[in-house]
Chain A
């Protein structure tokens, strides 16, 4: 019995001592957007490989959580597809800088057995589905925009996010702009009071649920739909054109909306003059506190951001995220100097 205790004690000591060797790598912690997670996970892995001594650990927990953890200063940077509001910034208690890193598209994607064609959605259709007023796939509002497509007579299973999400912000921002009823009843936010639907955690959860559930519809960043080979529809923009989410369409949306100095902007439903713009596009931001005390960490973050705004932009397109407009990236490099 005694030797057994000794062995156990040695084992315990070994595991406990493993904690002492903290190592010389600096670990930066970020959290937030699931929309940008596929991009960031590739970016940060590449960055770690080319910059030994730095590891960037990113947790894909939703924009809401990213902002909250940044406010609590439990992470070094937050990632969000929803810009912080004026009230949010005022409540933060310390200045926060927004750095857009890429452009993404939120697409309505669905699981419709037997329907091969790519569906076209009008704003009325999307708002009606998510308000719970359109409940069957073969509803005339949907059918009108899709002549020649045999829509099944099945109830629509609506899927949305259960956690605080920048993707939700972009989606509800768009719906608020195209549907007065939505704007009044629900509004825009990272977490809203959904009238109908199933909730799933993260973009991953929404994609997983729609993938598993026939006749379901959800909203998610383009890459998730592509990676999982799920059909996604084109959306009618303000110019009346049905636009499929592509890099050029997203770039056109970004080009149509001027970016203010603090980089907080919404580019959903750009005006009718942007004829080729995809109406549910969004920037995705990395949020950092303006004042970072630890000099080593601060430099590491500045280097990381600079890499994302220069080298990283070249990889974005390969993952179906649109790179930043050059002027925006240049302005951001200037903003980097504000970090002290």
Chain B
């Protein structure tokens, strides 16, 4: 009876006559629980520190609103508006998702449904290695390879064929929103592929076999039976990828042009929150400048947490609805 109790309750069981064991287990409990509390404490400490260090910018709700919708970032006049950075972060991440999500799901379908086991594992390993490449190396390749190509080849071509659209207006700098979005797309692709492949492979084989037995083509099976089942997992992967894109710093700052602009054109240089912090933090001397950067950090943290929580909650919701 005592054995069963030990595995079922949350407390260390006291075993009759073996107090040394009890002491050891209590110590174990203490140490591990302390480690857990440390982890929780870290999250709280980070949030609290950012909140406290940006106090000058959120004394009142209207001040917060002014900060979020302000369009001018002026360290000389000590006037700070976060909108260009929010815009840049959201635009580049959205662009990255638009490029990476379909391609990622497509690749995952291929790896999960079309290719036989051993080859699938090998190819998956290869795509997951993409996730291991550090951000600064993506930035290096972006700056020295992608940017010149964009400036000399891709952007002039887009200008010629689609230049009438405001999306592709303006001279080809090479750096800008589009380049950053493309680079981000490559960086988040492995996350989308990995999560989608896991979701697809978790769908029971019987569903596929039933569909095929009813005369569906392989694609129809995938599109109408497997994908809907895997949708929660795929969505979780997309949100994970979004979270990564929002927090990306180095690769983005090397190819985005570092200019806080609110332009519709994808060729325009821009700025994101992490890039701004990286560029300005070590030198902000004005009293409000530093707090403004910490406030930007807080905004970024909130966006990352919201994306994360959505990534946990939304798939669960979808699964419940599907049932």
Question: Footprint of B on A, CB under 8 Å?
Answer: 61-69, 71, 88, 91, 155, 157, 162-164, 186-194, 196-201, 209, 212-213
Contact = CB atoms under 8 A, between A and B. Distances in A.
Nearest to A59: B282
A162 B175 CA distance: 14
Given A186-B76, A199-B257, A212-B147, A163 B283 contact: yes
A89 to B, nearest CB: 11
Given A157-B173, A198-B173, A192 B76 contact: yes
Interface in B69-97: 72-77
B284 interface: yes
14 contacts: A61-B282, A61-B283, A62-B282, A63-B283, A64-B285, A65-B283, A162-B279, A164-B280, A190-B283, A191-B283, A200-B258, A201-B279, A212-B148, A213-B151
Given A164-B280, A197-B269, 12 more contacts: A61-B282, A67-B283, A67-B285, A88-B285, A162-B258, A162-B279, A163-B280, A164-B283, A186-B76, A188-B76, A193-B72, A198-B258
B174 interface: yes
B253 to A, nearest CB: 8
B309 to A, nearest CB: 32
Interface centre among A67, A162, A192, A194 (most CB of B within 10 A): A162
Q: Which 3 A-B residue pairings sit nearest by Cβ, starting from the closest?
A: A64-B283, A199-B258, A164-B283
Given A197-B259, A212-B147, A155 B284 contact: no
B168 to A, nearest CB: 15
A158 to B, nearest CB: 9
B215 interface: no
B175 A189 contact: no
Contacts of B257: 198-199
Contact of A189 (B75, B258, B259, B271): B75
Interface string B160-184: 0000000000010111000000000
Interface of B: 72-77, 147-148, 151, 171, 173-175, 253, 257-259, 269, 271, 279-280, 282-285, 287, 289
Contacts of A209: 175
A199 B282 contact: no
Contact of A69 (B151, B171, B282): B282
Contacts of B151: 213
A77 to B, nearest CB: 16
Contacts of A191: 75-76, 280, 283, 289
A194 B171 CA distance: 18
Interface centre among B77, B174, B258, B285 (most CB of A within 10 A): B285
Contacts of A212: 147-148, 174
Contacts of A186: 76
Contacts of B259: 162, 194, 196-199
Contacts of B147: 212
A165 B283 CA distance: 9
B76 A164 contact: no
Contacts of A157: 171, 173
B289 to A, nearest CB: 8
A164 B175 contact: no
A65 B76 contact: no
A213 B73 CA distance: 26
B56 to A, nearest CB: 14
A200 to B, nearest CB: 7
B296 to A, nearest CB: 14
A162 B84 CA distance: 15
Nearest to B151: A213
B285 A187 contact: no
A155 B269 CA distance: 15
Nearest to B74: A193
A91 B285 CA distance: 10
Nearest to A155: B171
Nearest to A199: B258
B75 A199 contact: no
Contacts of B77: 187, 193
Contacts of B289: 191
Contact of B283 (A62, A187, A194): A62
A164 B258 contact: no
A117 B269 CA distance: 30
Nearest to A154: B171
B119 to A, nearest CB: 31
B163 to A, nearest CB: 13
B283 A68 contact: yes
A145 to B, nearest CB: 23
A189 B73 CA distance: 13
Interface centre among A67, A191, A193, A196 (most CB of B within 10 A): A191
A198 B283 contact: no
B146 to A, nearest CB: 12
Contact of B174 (A91, A155, A187, A213): A213
A71 B283 CA distance: 10
Given A193-B75, A198-B173, A199-B269, A163 B279 contact: yes
A66 B73 CA distance: 21
Given A193-B77, A198-B175, A68 B285 contact: yes
Nearest to B285: A68
Interface centre among A88, A163, A192 (most CB of B within 10 A): A163
A206 to B, nearest CB: 11
A187 B173 contact: no
B260 to A, nearest CB: 8
A212 B145 CA distance: 11
Contact of A68 (B174, B269, B279, B282): B282
